[in-house]
Amino acid sequence: MDDVIVLGAGVIGLTSAVRLLESGARVRVLTADDPTRTVSRLAAAVWYPTHTDADPRVLAWAKRTYDELMTQADDGVPGTARRPTRMLLRAPAGTPWWSSAVPGFAAHPGEWRFTVPSVEMEVYLQWLAERVQHLGGTLARGRVDRLADLAGQAGTLVNATGLAARALADDPAVFPARGQIVIVANPGLVTSIRDEDHPDGMTYIHPRSRDVVLGGTFQPGDWNETPDPATTEAILRRCADLVPELAGARPLRQAAGLRPARHGGPRVEPAAEPLPRGTRLIHNYGHGGAGVTLSWGCADEVVRLAS
């Protein structure tokens, strides 16, 4: 019997599995989809606690993740890099609640400047899956209709099912926050730019090694995963206004995905009652658009709770 089953193989599930394996647990990851087909693959994945309320626990998770990803970038982990970033401000603003997690954070007139880790998700998710297997864990495919269906198969079950936790954990606080992105060729950009208060919609430009992720939208309650052509054109227009080098850029790919958001913030805690046959249940879901930003910190929390 496994010590732990991690249900879900997005970035939250895989980082939890890695940390549990590093702690000595026998771990099986159970996933309905290949890791590179989960919604995590669509994340622009530049560290930033977007649409996340100030909370000491969240700040600690974000700081831990920042440190881990920066170390991975320095160590050459596939898909990771240090990314200089500018956050444009539409109104005077003080220091953000999360700034203590970011060494070298600086406030300038009209913008914040800082350097954070960035991740190319399809490459990184594959690395995480390989890391799980290298550490002796297993990955299995399968769907479950109830968390109780896994009772007795392991001492602990980690629920990292993202948006599916709305039904599996009977948690009506979970909701989709639709995001649409556009991928274009990189004309030589290295700095990420954010304009989250743009009057026409949140705007971000995140360069990667060979392309640029342009966004975006944050549409609570919208379950539509089909890209909208008008939204694509609006994203291209807003981004080109901010960065003229993007004028005339043609989409290489368009995508829409559903961020697993939750009213009240991420749920990282043990269930009040174990599952049948004594299986402990630990929840780790509801990270919204900050899954990558909180992933390793929440994984450390899962290990603490499991022990």
Give the pLDDT of residue 179. 97
Rounded to the nearest 10 degrees, the angle between the axes of helix 11-22 and helix 121-134 is 30
Give the pLDDT of residue 122. 93
Integer Cα distance of 46 and 125 in angstroms:
15
Give the predicted TM-score (pTM) of the model.
0.96
Residue with tokens 């109780």: 148
Three-class SS of the chain: CEEEEEECCCHHHHHHHHHHHHCCCCEEEEECCCHHHCHHHHCCCECCCCCCCCCHHHHHHHHHHHHHHHHHHHHCCCCEEEEEEEEECCCCCCCCCCHHHCCCCEEECCEEEEEEEEECHHHHHHHHHHHHHHCCCEEEECCCCCHHHHCCCEEEEEECCHHHHHHHCCCCCEEEEEEEEEEEECCCCCCEEEECCCCCCCEEEEECCCEEEEECCCEECCCCCCCCHHHHHHHHHHHHHHCHHHCCCCCCEEEEEEEEEECCCCEEEECCCCCHHHCEEEEEECCHHHHHHHHHHHHHHHHHHHC
Integer Cα distance of 42 and 19 in angstroms:
23
And the tokens for 151? 């009772």
For 239-275, how does the pLDDT look when each residue is reduced to its tens digit (9 = 90+)?
999 999 999 999 999 999 999 999 999 999 999 999 9
Report whether pLDDT(169) > 90: yes
* C-alpha dihedral sign at 228, 232, 233, 235: positive
Give the pLDDT of residue 183. 98
Give the pLDDT of residue 36. 87
For 59-116, how does the pLDDT look when each residue is reduced to its tens digit (9 = 90+)?
999 999 999 999 999 999 999 999 999 999 999 888 999 999 999 999 999 999 999 9
For 4-30, how does the pLDDT look when each residue is reduced to its tens digit (9 = 90+)?
999 999 999 999 999 999 999 999 999
What are the boundaries of each domain within the chain?
2-306
Give the pLDDT of residue 171. 98
Architecture of domain 2-306: 3-Layer(aba) Sandwich (3.40)
C-alpha separations of 297 from 15, 121, 292 in Å: 9, 18, 10
Give the pLDDT of residue 175. 98
Integer Cα distance of 62 and 294 in angstroms:
5
Give the pLDDT of residue 69. 98
Report whether pLDDT(124) > 90: yes
Give the pLDDT of residue 1. 78
Give the pLDDT of residue 300. 98
Give the pLDDT of residue 281. 98
For 192-225, how does the pLDDT look when each residue is reduced to its tens digit (9 = 90+)?
999 999 999 999 999 999 999 999 999 999 999 9
For 265-294, how does the pLDDT look when each residue is reduced to its tens digit (9 = 90+)?
999 999 999 999 999 999 999 999 999 999
Residue with tokens 């899962």: 302
For 141-154, how does the pLDDT look when each residue is reduced to its tens digit (9 = 90+)?
999 999 999 999 99
Give the pLDDT of residue 298. 98
And the tokens for 73? 């970038």
